[in-house]
Structure 1
Amino acid sequence: MKAIVYTEGGGPEVLRLTERPVPEPGPGEVRVRVEVSGVNPTDWKVRTAGPQDEGEQVPNQDGAGLVDAVGEGVAPGRTGQRVWIWEAAWQRSDGTAQEYVVLPEEQAVPLPDKASLDLGASIGIPAMTAHRALTVRDGGPARLGPGALRGRTVLVAGGAGAVGNMAIQLARWAGATVVTTVSSPFKARLAEAAGAHHVVDYKAQDAAAAIRRVAPDGVDIVVEVALAANAELDVSVTAQNGVVAYYDDGAEVVLPRWTFFGNLRFQGVLVYTMPAEAKRDAVAAVTAALADGSLRVGKEAGLPLHRFPLERTADAHTTVEKGEVGKVLIDV
């Protein structure tokens, strides 16, 4: 089978196309014929550091395809299922940038009939990050569903990004009022297409004033992509006892002195290390939202798709690293 591998850390040039044997599933595992692989920022960041173990590393956490073989202890009926894949390469040497991948069966989740393989390959890390961010508020739901956030106001920073897009869609599905910030008219149109009720171009208006007009008492949850840049804004618009859930850009953060007056909580979000129960809740909720038709991808959904063939995986990684707006997919 064809696979993309790397054996050392570095830029996209370390990725190479190779031939590998088709793997066999072990107990509790399934083998998925990968149709589409999704690329996330963590995929290229991990690549720069090198393989987790000695030997070849296949990149990419997310993907979608069909189960074509099952291991001992797995229901034979799973063969032929369309599935979406999450965390394929976390602490493992096999990601989704290959024609077949073997992984624990719970990481190959049945894909509802109405959901395309492109959609299945696009959710994974972005949707699970968004779900976690929307469920860490004190007294909030641990698992989203219709009405779970009714009466709440959510601020999504960077609503044109992949996580921001999923946060908007999941928050709408859960009944929240959604406000989002963007940096251009183009991104504003994407955030509107995703379903945001209110879009604030922070380069064209006073963001704090615009958000406060929508939520005079403050927003309940902030889904934050750039805490270092937005900490002062977040503190100024978040309601008492609210939460700023950040998945961040890695920059050092200085919090305003008055943060504690509002009893605000700042919660880091990283899918890979979040509690197992939170992962199960995210997978269940995302799958339910898919079945409801409440998650979409494509320009009409505010998340343009950028496609590459498997042999151009390096170009796909470069596109994500450069911050291209939308979702990068690899046709395996």
Structure 2
Amino acid sequence: MRAVVYRETGPSSVLEVVDRDLPEPGPGEVRVRLVRAGVNPTDWKFRAGMMSGHDEVTPGQDGAGYVDAVGPEVDGFAVGDRVWLVLAQHGRPHGTAAEQTVQPVEKVVHLPDGAGFDLGASAGVPAVTAHRALTASEQGPVRLGPGALAGRTVLVAGGAGAVGNAAIQLARWSGATVISTVSSPEKAALAAAAGAHHTIDYRSADVVAEVRALCPGGVDIAVEVAPADNIGIDLEVVKVHGLVSIYANNGGDEMSVPLRAAFSKNLRFQFLILYTLDPALVRAATEDVSAAMAAGALRVGEDAGLPLHHFALEQTAAAHDAVEAGAVGKVLLDIADA
């Protein structure tokens, strides 16, 4: 099989396409013949030097394809099943930038009828992150679905990004009113296509004034991508007992929080990353994301506010570079015909 690998961290030039023996699944594992693989910011960041410990790495956390071999002690999957993957390379040397990958069944999810491989490969990290941002609770898994967020208002920072797009779609599906901040009219159009009821261009508008006009009582949840820049806005617009979910460090690695302002609202701050998330929370997220796919509530493509950028497996280095350069939309590797 063909696979993309790197043996040392560094720029995208360390990536190469190689031929490797076909891996065989062990107990509790299945082998997936990949059709599409998703590329996320963590892929290039790991490759650039954030991760070590393996002699050879095949990058890629997300993908979609067909089960083509089943190991012992596996229930619920059969050869030919359409599936999507989540956290495929977490804790393992070989992810989804390959023609086949062997994965434990807990990282493999049935792809609903009617959901394409582009959608399956785009879900993974972005959609599960968005789910956690919307449901963060100290009391265990909280589920999304029709009516789950009815009567609530969600503010999504950066609604044209992959996580922001998924957060808008999942919140809208669950009955929330969604406000999204964006940085241009073009990105406003993408956030609106994803389902945002209102968009605010933070480069030309007073975000606090605009949000207060739309939601005088304050928003229930802020899904935050740039906390260093936006914490002042969040403290102003999130309501008492509200939630600020922080999933990225765009704009800076340190955040200064005025404590009295946060105290006065009894705010909860949820910092989240999938790689240490409790497996029960990941499972709850994948179940809800699949349900949203099945309902047609989670989509990809220009008309869903998430333009797709396709690269061949041999162009994985260019795909990494595109993500690092801030490509608007979702970057995918086309590994095989559906």
Q: Secondary structure at the match of 1:169?
A: helix
Contact 1:51 1:93 in 2 (8 A): no
Contact 1:137 1:242 in 2 (8 A): no
Residue by residue over 1:85-121, the C-alpha shift from the partner in whole angstroms, topping out at 9 and shown as x without a partner, is 1101001001000000000112111101110000000
Structure 1 CA distance for aligned equivalents of residues 77 and 55 of structure 2: 34
Structure 2 CA distance for aligned equivalents of residues 70 and 105 of structure 1: 10
1:317 is aligned, of 317, 320, 323, to: 320
Letter in 2 for 1:121: A
Which residue is 1:63 aligned to?
63
Contact 1:28 1:72 in 2 (8 A): yes
Which residue is 1:127 aligned to?
127
Structure 2 CA distance for aligned equivalents of residues 329 and 256 of structure 1: 40
Which residue is 2:296 aligned to?
293
Contact 1:152 1:220 in 2 (8 A): yes
Contact 1:155 1:219 in 2 (8 A): yes
Give the deviation of 1:235 after TM superposition: 0.5
RMSD: 1.4
Q: Which moved more, 1:254-263 or 1:314-323?
A: 254-263
Contact 1:15 1:314 in 2 (8 A): yes
Give the deviation of 1:224 after TM superposition: 0.4
Letter in 1 for 2:253: A
Give the deviation of 1:136 after TM superposition: 1.2
Which residue is 1:219 aligned to?
219
Q: Secondary structure at the match of 1:78?
A: coil
Which residue is 2:254 aligned to?
252
Give the deviation of 1:53 after TM superposition: 2.7
Q: Secondary structure at the match of 1:216?
A: coil
Structure 1 gap ranges (5+): none
Letter in 2 for 1:302: G
Structure 1 CA distance for aligned equivalents of residues 140 and 219 of structure 2: 14
1:39–1:262: structure 2 CA closer, same or farther, 3 Å change rule? same
Structure 2 gap ranges (5+): none
Contact 1:61 1:90 in 2 (8 A): yes
Residue by residue over 1:144-168, the C-alpha shift from the partner in whole angstroms, topping out at 9 and shown as x without a partner, is 1111000110000000000000000
Structure 2 CA distance for aligned equivalents of residues 55 and 208 of structure 1: 49
Give the deviation of 1:141 after TM superposition: 7.0
1:288–1:76: structure 2 CA closer, same or farther, 3 Å change rule? closer
Structure 1 CA distance for aligned equivalents of residues 32 and 133 of structure 2: 29
Letter in 1 for 2:127: A
Residue by residue over 1:256-309, the C-alpha shift from the partner in whole angstroms, topping out at 9 and shown as x without a partner, is 242211111111010111111111110110011111111000011000000100
Alignment of 1:135-214 (within 5 A): 135-136=135-136, 142-214=142-214
Residue by residue over 1:189-238, the C-alpha shift from the partner in whole angstroms, topping out at 9 and shown as x without a partner, is 00000000111111121111111111111000010000001000011000
TM-score in terms of structure 2 length: 0.96
Corresponding position: 1:84 with 2:84 = yes
Alignment of 1:8-47 (within 5 A): 8-47=8-47
Structure 1 CA distance for aligned equivalents of residues 50 and 253 of structure 2: 22
Letter in 1 for 2:82: R
Q: Secondary structure at the match of 2:35?
A: strand
1:248–1:229: structure 2 CA closer, same or farther, 3 Å change rule? same
Contact 1:52 1:91 in 2 (8 A): no
Residue by residue over 1:162-197, the C-alpha shift from the partner in whole angstroms, topping out at 9 and shown as x without a partner, is 000000000001110100000100000000000001
Which residue is 1:228 aligned to?
228
Structure 2 CA distance for aligned equivalents of residues 153 and 76 of structure 1: 38
1:59–1:141: structure 2 CA closer, same or farther, 3 Å change rule? closer
Structure 1 CA distance for aligned equivalents of residues 309 and 144 of structure 2: 29
Q: Once superposed, which parts of structure 1, at least 4 consecutive aligned residues long, lie more than 6 Å away?
A: 138-141
Q: Which moved more, 1:247-256 or 1:13-22?
A: 247-256
1:137–1:234: structure 2 CA closer, same or farther, 3 Å change rule? farther
Structure 2 CA distance for aligned equivalents of residues 94 and 248 of structure 1: 25
Contact 1:240 1:262 in 2 (8 A): yes
Letter in 2 for 1:301: A
Contact 1:191 1:302 in 2 (8 A): yes
Give the deviation of 1:251 after TM superposition: 1.6
Q: Secondary structure at the match of 1:54?
A: coil
Structure 1 CA distance for aligned equivalents of residues 167 and 111 of structure 2: 20
Structure 2 CA distance for aligned equivalents of residues 75 and 224 of structure 1: 38
Structure 2 CA distance for aligned equivalents of residues 220 and 140 of structure 1: 19
Q: Which moved more, 1:134-143 or 1:60-69?
A: 134-143
Structure 2 CA distance for aligned equivalents of residues 51 and 211 of structure 1: 39
Which residue is 1:111 aligned to?
111
